[in-house]
Amino acid sequence: MIRINENYTKLKASYLFADIAKRVTAFQQANPDKRIIRMGIGDVTEPLPEACIDAFHRGVDEMAKRESFRGYGPEQGYAFLREAIAKHDFQARGCAVEADEIFVSDGAKCDCGNIQEIFAGDIRIAVPDPVYPVYVDTNVMAGRTGPNTGGRYTGLVYLECTKENDYVPALPTEPVDLIYLCYPNNPTGAVATAPQLRQWVDYARAHKSIILFDAAYEAFVRDPAIPRSIYEIPGAREVAIEFRSFSKTAGFTGTRCGFIVVPKELKAWDDAGNAHSVHALWNRRHSTKFNGVSYPVQRAAEAVFTPAGQAQTKQLTDFYLANAAIIRAAMEKLGLACIGGDNAPYIWINTGRDSWEFFDLLLNNAGVVCTPGAGFGKCGEGYIRLSAFNSRANVEEAMERVRSVLS
Ligand code: MLT
């Protein structure tokens, strides 16, 4: 009799966005004539930038000819893409990141989920609350969290992100080894200032901890004082791994490409107290379990860094930020307090009611899908998240529908 990984029984029945999709499908089946507007999952709606499409086509054409055909590529990503990332995303902004510290992947969700594998089973993990569920669920699967009692895992340290702390958590009062941070934040849309991030980097250096910094939404930062990378903070190379994605920056949710940065200085220790290079460990894991992102996709991602690609991706993120401004203004006009939407594509709205109840209210009466804040953790109760990834017409219609239901 084959036995299962019992840790899976500690998970919530389904992944948050799968749960929402199930409810929405049931509603649509019961109301086939209603046109639903989806502002729940942060999935892009606008086509890929022209520069990416052209490069994508050229990559496919190369694969069609014997002389330019390519089989397996380097697991870590082609040098052309790693070099473009290092130069434009980091070195040009004063961050000392080298091309061989970048590992190209099929997206930040997989990287955020996989990274925990290289660390010990009994380390102490700190996660924000509210939290992108992948950080928690992958540690549950690995057996690091203990059981869930009253909506929280007994073995995790929860870093509460609330209105009182501007959604940037205080340092933990007990020592932690692995710290997940995400800025601009999913789900709250909050950003962290350089002094706030410095506190975390200093903490990690003092405690020999590692920060897993999810910067998937950095392309939405418009305030020049807000860091776009953890490596803008002195000392971060010794204690931080950064996750990035082309999904939201350039509309790659269906195309799939992201990367992580693992600096060569980063160390973790074995049971005997010997230091190991995290870069070497990740390289070992990545090259064993991953065979690289397809060549045309990497060419399309490289095109993001051309002058045309930079202009077009800026236009794309500006477009979604303009949606965010419309959503936030509409919600505030209804008297609901909001954050986010100015340097992030998410708006976090205090509904003052049970968040699943509010989800049902919007779905049943307005045909609008949001994400209930409680799905992201205890501190999300009472809130909903609206995503700005949509067409302008849908955003405007959704806000009109919500207004007529709530006013
Ligand atoms: C979200 O809606 O939180 C994101 O789309 C999730 C993701 O990027 O995986």
Domain assignment present for residue 245? The answer is yes
Residue 14: which region, alpha, beta or left (left: phi > 0; alpha: psi -120 to 50)?
A: beta
Q: Is the pLDDT of residue 98 over 80?
A: yes
CB of 186 closer than 6 angstroms to any ligand 1 atom: yes
Determine the 3-state secondary structure of 196 from DSSP.
Answer: helix
Q: Residue 14: pLDDT band by 50, 70, 90 thresholds?
A: confident
Nearest residue (CA) to ligand 1, atom 6? 42
Same domain for 271 and 352, yes or no, is no
Residue 107, domain member (yes or no) = yes
Q: Is the distance from the beta carbon of residue 110 to the nearest atom of ligand 1 less than 6 Å?
A: no
| Same domain? 64 vs 146 | yes
Taking the centre of ligand 1 as the mean of its atom positions, its distance from the CA of residue 134, in whole angstroms, is 9
**pLDDT (tens digit per residue) in 190-211:** 999 999 999 999 999 999 999 9
Q: What is the pLDDT of residues 245-257, one digit of tens each?
A: 999 999 999 999 9
Phi, psi of 30 (to 5 degrees): -75, -25
Q: Do 17 and 71 reside in the same domain of the chain?
A: no
Whether residue 314 sits in one domain with residue 282? no
Q: 192 C-alpha vs ligand 1 centroid, how far in Å? A: 19
Residues 109 and 208 in one domain: yes
- Measured in Å, residue 76 CA sits from the centre of ligand 1 at 24
Sign of CA dihedral 26, 345, 192, 311: positive
Helices within 254-363 (DSSP H only)? 278-289, 295-302, 307-333, 355-361
* Span from the CA of 377 to the centroid of ligand 1 (angstroms): 15
Predicted confidence band at 16 (pLDDT cuts at 50, 70, 90)? confident
**What is the total count of domains within the chain?**
2
pTM over 0.85: yes
Whats the size of the chain, residue-wise?
Answer: 407
What does the alpha-carbon distance between residue 179 and residue 170 come to, in Å, rounded to a whole number? 12
- CA nearest ligand 1 atom 5, residue: 42
Domain span at residue 328 reads: 6-47+308-406
Whether residue 1 lies inside any domain: the answer is: no
Per-residue pLDDT averaged across 336-345, rounded?
98
pLDDT tens figures, 269-305 = 999 999 999 999 999 999 999 999 999 999 999 999 9
Q: Of 255, 283, 306, which closes a domain?
A: 306
pLDDT digits (tens, 9 = 90+) for 128-163: 999 999 999 999 999 999 999 988 999 999 999 999
